[in-house]
Amino acid sequence: MILLQKNNLFKGYSDLLLLGVYSDKIIAEIARKEKDGAKIIASVLEPVEDGNVNPEKIRLNCEKAIQRLSAEQIAGVKSIACVLGGGVAGLSFSIERAARESREKKISVQELSALAGEDKADLVIIEKRFLVDGFAVEDPIGMKGKEIFAPVARFSFNNDLEKTLVSIAWTRGMSYEGALDTRVAFMKSGIAEPKDYCAIFIFSEKTTICVVRGGFISAVSDIEAGYGIMAEKTASAFGVGFEEGKDLLDKLRNNRIDQSASEAIKMALEEAVAEITDKIRATFFVIDRDNLIPGNVFVVIDENFPELEKALSGAQWLDGLPIDRNISIRVEPDAIPRAVLNYIN
């Protein structure tokens, strides 16, 4: 797997194609390198139906999105970077432990490699630390100790899907620069200033909760529900399909629906918000059983859903949860594009 690196992304050229791959949409953007940093100069969105992450379907939708950019805009682009949302890429965390036979024996390179594991074609380590007998150490090789702990964060991405994205670049004569997970981009972008915080990432089909301590990922948990449930509940209320449910939501946002239908949709949205909130609350009880959740909470929603933003912006839904007393909640509806630009800058 090729991860997006920050250095020399533009390869001496001024433009870079950012291909955002999500379970419900493809976003094709052109980032231009300017004196004061990279800026988006063109952006198009191609909807993806049914949330099925199929490589060939993703290829088709990516091609559609790219073709909607003007020929003049795309002509100067020589490289592609991919930005991946939850439901397309995976993020996980684990603490690997090893009890050593002898405290006096020095820790070897092979021992550490066996403990944390190696990168694979579809799974790579993005963050790794070591603790020897409970003390954090930067490089334990050559040290002595009875027990080693390795907190490890990993990023996973379907190998066939990556090959599809690489082929899109190559067929257009562009270089493929690698993939960037949107959640990692946020956590590494500096938007979340405190060293200790909890970030809730809400995508169409999935919600990911990440606990960060001292600037390092220390817990990750996924919920199989996202803002897509808003359209599902709306569709169910009217006895129509998912896409029709999305159309009804659009009509509500644009005041193109009658009063009775509007009330029915609002009730469906209240039910959807309550379900997502309950699942997030349940996860807070189990994500990090040994510690209180940091009181700095960031809510990152990949789409504009005012009902969800309003419900999660207050502290009431956190009542009774194992969280620090001093609570600060920030809803960040546009955090992902800002985080990606911060990362590539």
Task: Give yes or no for residue 184 having a pLDDT over 90.
Answer: yes
In tens, the pLDDT along 124-151 reads 999 999 999 888 888 889 888 889 999 9
Residue 230 shares a structural domain with residue 212:
yes
Residue 77 shares a structural domain with residue 96:
no
- The boundaries of the domain holding residue 106 are 91-155
Domain assignment present for 1: no
Residue 202 shares a structural domain with residue 84:
no
Which stretch, 10-14, 30-34, 189-193, has highest mean pLDDT?
A: 30-34
Residue 198 shares a structural domain with residue 280:
yes
Domain assignment present for 132: yes
pLDDT at 31: 92
C-alpha span between 180 and 155 (Å, rounded): 10
Task: Give yes or no for residue 77 having a pLDDT over 80.
Answer: yes
pLDDT at 193: 81
Residue 205 shares a structural domain with residue 131:
no
Residue 178 shares a structural domain with residue 221:
no
Residue type, position 345, single letter: N
pLDDT at 5: 82
Task: Give yes or no for residue 309 having a pLDDT over 80.
Answer: yes
Task: Give yes or no for residue 257 having a pLDDT over 90.
Answer: no
Residue 151 shares a structural domain with residue 68:
no
In tens, the pLDDT along 93-122 reads 999 888 888 888 888 888 888 887 888 888
State the average pLDDT over residues 50-70. Answer: 89
Closest-CA residue to 92 (of 219, 225, 200, 282): 219
C-alpha span between 243 and 247 (Å, rounded): 6
* Domains held by the chain: number: 3
Confidence of residue 8 (pLDDT cuts 50, 70, 90): low
CA atoms within 13 A on the CB side of 205: 17
Q: Which residue has the higher pLDDT, 343 or 22?
A: 22
Q: Which of 155, 172, 206 is the last residue of a domain?
A: 155
